[in-house]
Amino acid sequence: MSRIHIEDKAKAKEKAAAVQAADSGADGDAGAQPEELVAVETARVPQEEYDRLKAERDMLFDRLARLQAEFDNARKREAKERADFRDYAVGNAVEQFLPVLDNFHLALKAQGSPEQLRAGVELIVKQMEEALRGLNVQAVETVGAAFDPRVHEALEMVERNDLPDHQVFEEVRRGYKIRERLLRPALVRVASNPQQKEA
Protein backbone atom coordinates (compact mmCIF):
# COMPACT_ATOMS: atom_id res chain seq x y z
CA MET A 1 0.00 0.00 0.00
CA SER A 2 1.45 3.37 -0.98
CA ARG A 3 2.29 6.06 1.54
CA ILE A 4 -0.11 8.61 -0.05
CA HIS A 5 -2.97 6.11 0.24
CA ILE A 6 -2.20 5.52 3.94
CA GLU A 7 -2.05 9.28 4.64
CA ASP A 8 -5.42 9.82 2.86
CA LYS A 9 -7.02 7.09 4.97
CA ALA A 10 -5.57 8.64 8.12
CA LYS A 11 -6.96 12.09 7.23
CA ALA A 12 -10.36 10.59 6.53
CA LYS A 13 -10.41 8.84 9.91
CA GLU A 14 -9.36 12.09 11.65
CA LYS A 15 -12.23 13.98 9.97
CA ALA A 16 -14.70 11.30 10.95
CA ALA A 17 -13.47 11.38 14.55
CA ALA A 18 -13.76 15.19 14.63
CA VAL A 19 -17.33 15.06 13.30
CA GLN A 20 -18.23 12.34 15.81
CA ALA A 21 -16.71 14.38 18.67
CA ALA A 22 -18.64 17.48 17.56
CA ASP A 23 -21.90 15.49 17.39
CA SER A 24 -21.37 13.93 20.79
CA GLY A 25 -20.43 17.35 22.27
CA ALA A 26 -23.60 18.89 20.84
CA ASP A 27 -25.74 16.06 22.29
CA GLY A 28 -24.01 16.46 25.66
CA ASP A 29 -22.86 12.83 25.54
CA ALA A 30 -20.52 12.49 28.52
CA GLY A 31 -19.43 8.98 27.56
CA ALA A 32 -17.73 9.94 24.27
CA GLN A 33 -15.25 7.45 22.87
CA PRO A 34 -11.55 8.52 22.89
CA GLU A 35 -10.18 9.37 19.47
CA GLU A 36 -8.65 6.40 17.70
CA LEU A 37 -4.95 6.76 16.93
CA VAL A 38 -3.86 5.81 13.44
CA ALA A 39 -0.33 4.61 12.80
CA VAL A 40 1.32 6.42 9.90
CA GLU A 41 4.15 4.73 8.11
CA THR A 42 7.36 6.77 8.41
CA ALA A 43 9.40 7.37 5.29
CA ARG A 44 12.70 5.58 5.08
CA VAL A 45 15.76 7.37 3.70
CA PRO A 46 17.95 5.23 1.45
CA GLN A 47 21.39 4.46 2.88
CA GLU A 48 23.18 6.28 0.02
CA GLU A 49 21.16 9.46 0.69
CA TYR A 50 21.89 9.18 4.42
CA ASP A 51 25.63 8.76 3.78
CA ARG A 52 25.64 11.71 1.37
CA LEU A 53 23.85 13.99 3.88
CA LYS A 54 26.17 12.87 6.68
CA ALA A 55 29.25 13.59 4.54
CA GLU A 56 27.84 17.01 3.62
CA ARG A 57 27.17 17.78 7.30
CA ASP A 58 30.72 16.74 8.26
CA MET A 59 32.13 18.89 5.45
CA LEU A 60 30.12 21.91 6.65
CA PHE A 61 31.24 21.40 10.27
CA ASP A 62 34.86 21.18 9.08
CA ARG A 63 34.46 24.34 7.00
CA LEU A 64 32.89 26.17 9.95
CA ALA A 65 35.77 25.13 12.23
CA ARG A 66 38.31 26.36 9.65
CA LEU A 67 36.47 29.68 9.24
CA GLN A 68 36.39 30.19 13.02
CA ALA A 69 40.14 29.48 13.21
CA GLU A 70 40.82 31.92 10.35
CA PHE A 71 38.69 34.58 12.08
CA ASP A 72 40.56 34.12 15.38
CA ASN A 73 43.90 34.34 13.58
CA ALA A 74 42.83 37.49 11.71
CA ARG A 75 41.65 39.08 14.97
CA LYS A 76 44.96 38.27 16.71
CA ARG A 77 46.94 39.53 13.69
CA GLU A 78 44.94 42.80 13.63
CA ALA A 79 45.50 43.33 17.39
CA LYS A 80 49.25 42.74 16.96
CA GLU A 81 49.42 45.12 13.97
CA ARG A 82 47.56 47.77 15.97
CA ALA A 83 49.97 47.38 18.91
CA ASP A 84 52.98 47.50 16.54
CA PHE A 85 51.64 50.66 14.87
CA ARG A 86 51.05 52.30 18.28
CA ASP A 87 54.61 51.42 19.37
CA TYR A 88 55.97 52.76 16.05
CA ALA A 89 54.02 56.03 16.42
CA VAL A 90 55.13 56.47 20.05
CA GLY A 91 58.72 55.66 19.04
CA ASN A 92 58.68 58.33 16.32
CA ALA A 93 57.29 60.92 18.76
CA VAL A 94 59.77 60.07 21.53
CA GLU A 95 62.69 60.14 19.08
CA GLN A 96 62.04 63.85 18.43
CA PHE A 97 62.22 64.63 22.16
CA LEU A 98 65.45 62.76 22.92
CA PRO A 99 67.70 65.68 21.82
CA VAL A 100 65.64 67.98 24.08
CA LEU A 101 66.22 65.62 27.01
CA ASP A 102 69.95 65.49 26.18
CA ASN A 103 70.11 69.29 26.33
CA PHE A 104 68.33 69.32 29.69
CA HIS A 105 70.98 66.93 31.04
CA LEU A 106 73.73 69.19 29.69
CA ALA A 107 72.05 72.22 31.30
CA LEU A 108 71.96 70.46 34.67
CA LYS A 109 75.74 69.83 34.45
CA ALA A 110 76.52 73.41 33.33
CA GLN A 111 78.42 75.71 35.69
CA GLY A 112 77.41 79.07 34.19
CA SER A 113 75.79 82.19 35.56
CA PRO A 114 72.01 82.38 36.06
CA GLU A 115 71.73 84.42 32.85
CA GLN A 116 73.62 81.76 30.87
CA LEU A 117 71.45 79.00 32.35
CA ARG A 118 68.30 80.97 31.49
CA ALA A 119 69.48 81.46 27.90
CA GLY A 120 70.20 77.72 27.67
CA VAL A 121 66.73 76.81 28.99
CA GLU A 122 65.14 79.22 26.48
CA LEU A 123 66.98 77.44 23.67
CA ILE A 124 65.73 74.09 24.98
CA VAL A 125 62.14 75.42 25.08
CA LYS A 126 62.48 76.53 21.43
CA GLN A 127 63.81 73.09 20.54
CA MET A 128 60.85 71.50 22.34
CA GLU A 129 58.38 73.72 20.48
CA GLU A 130 59.98 72.72 17.15
CA ALA A 131 59.60 69.06 18.05
CA LEU A 132 55.91 69.65 18.85
CA ARG A 133 55.42 71.48 15.53
CA GLY A 134 56.95 68.44 13.80
CA LEU A 135 54.11 66.39 15.35
CA ASN A 136 51.47 68.95 14.20
CA VAL A 137 50.95 70.10 17.79
CA GLN A 138 50.37 73.82 18.17
CA ALA A 139 49.70 76.13 21.08
CA VAL A 140 46.22 77.56 21.59
CA GLU A 141 46.06 81.32 20.97
CA THR A 142 45.48 83.10 24.28
CA VAL A 143 46.62 86.63 25.22
CA GLY A 144 44.71 89.25 23.24
CA ALA A 145 42.15 86.74 21.91
CA ALA A 146 38.48 86.68 22.87
CA PHE A 147 37.64 84.03 25.46
CA ASP A 148 36.52 80.82 23.70
CA PRO A 149 35.19 78.09 26.03
CA ARG A 150 36.03 75.45 23.40
CA VAL A 151 39.79 76.05 23.80
CA HIS A 152 40.12 78.17 26.96
CA GLU A 153 39.49 77.39 30.61
CA ALA A 154 38.94 80.51 32.73
CA LEU A 155 40.87 80.50 35.99
CA GLU A 156 39.20 83.77 37.01
CA MET A 157 37.43 86.84 35.67
CA VAL A 158 39.23 90.09 36.60
CA GLU A 159 37.56 93.48 36.38
CA ARG A 160 39.53 95.58 33.90
CA ASN A 161 38.28 98.85 32.39
CA ASP A 162 41.26 99.13 30.02
CA LEU A 163 40.48 95.88 28.13
CA PRO A 164 37.50 94.70 26.08
CA ASP A 165 35.00 92.50 27.90
CA HIS A 166 35.83 88.74 27.76
CA GLN A 167 39.34 89.27 26.41
CA VAL A 168 42.10 86.93 27.59
CA PHE A 169 44.84 89.02 29.19
CA GLU A 170 47.02 86.35 30.88
CA GLU A 171 47.98 82.77 30.10
CA VAL A 172 48.51 80.67 33.25
CA ARG A 173 49.05 77.35 31.50
CA ARG A 174 49.50 76.86 27.78
CA GLY A 175 46.92 74.82 25.90
CA TYR A 176 47.66 72.59 22.90
CA LYS A 177 45.83 71.08 19.98
CA ILE A 178 46.88 68.60 17.33
CA ARG A 179 45.50 69.89 14.03
CA GLU A 180 41.88 70.67 15.01
CA ARG A 181 41.67 68.29 18.00
CA LEU A 182 42.13 69.88 21.42
CA LEU A 183 44.69 68.09 23.59
CA ARG A 184 44.15 70.34 26.60
CA PRO A 185 42.57 73.78 27.04
CA ALA A 186 44.64 76.84 27.92
CA LEU A 187 44.19 78.02 31.50
CA VAL A 188 43.67 81.79 31.34
CA ARG A 189 42.59 84.93 33.17
CA VAL A 190 39.81 86.84 31.45
CA ALA A 191 38.93 90.53 31.58
CA SER A 192 35.50 91.63 32.72
CA ASN A 193 34.70 95.19 31.66
CA PRO A 194 31.53 96.45 33.41
CA GLN A 195 31.41 99.62 31.27
CA GLN A 196 31.00 97.56 28.09
CA LYS A 197 28.32 95.39 29.72
CA GLU A 198 26.27 98.49 30.57
CA ALA A 199 26.58 99.91 27.05
- DSSP letter, residue 153: E
Helix (H) or strand (E) holding 134: helix 114-134
Q: How far apart are CA 24 and CA 14, in angstroms?
A: 15
Q: Which domains does the chain have, with CATH numbers?
A: 1-28+35-43 (no CATH), 44-135 (3.90.20.20), 137-199 (2.30.22.10)
Q: Which of 92, 189, 186 is nearest to 139 (CA)?
A: 186
Dihedral (CA of 52, 58, 60, 63) sign: negative
Identify whether the C-beta of residue 151 lies closer than 8 Å to the C-beta of residue 140: yes
Provide the residue type at 110 as one letter: A
Identify whether the C-beta of residue 138 lies closer than 8 Å to the C-beta of residue 177: yes
Q: How far apart are CA 102 and CA 134, in angstroms?
A: 18
Identify whether the C-beta of residue 191 lies closer than 8 Å to the C-beta of residue 165: yes
Identify whether the C-beta of residue 137 lies closer than 8 Å to the C-beta of residue 158: no
Distances (CA, A) of 187 to 145, 151, 168: 13, 9, 10
List per-residue pLDDT tens for the chain, 199 residues long.
444 455 566 666 776 666 566 555 544 444 555 556 655 566 677 888 899 999 999 999 999 999 999 999 999 999 999 999 999 988 988 898 899 999 989 888 888 888 888 898 999 999 999 999 989 999 999 999 999 999 999 999 999 989 999 999 999 999 999 989 999 999 999 999 888 765 5
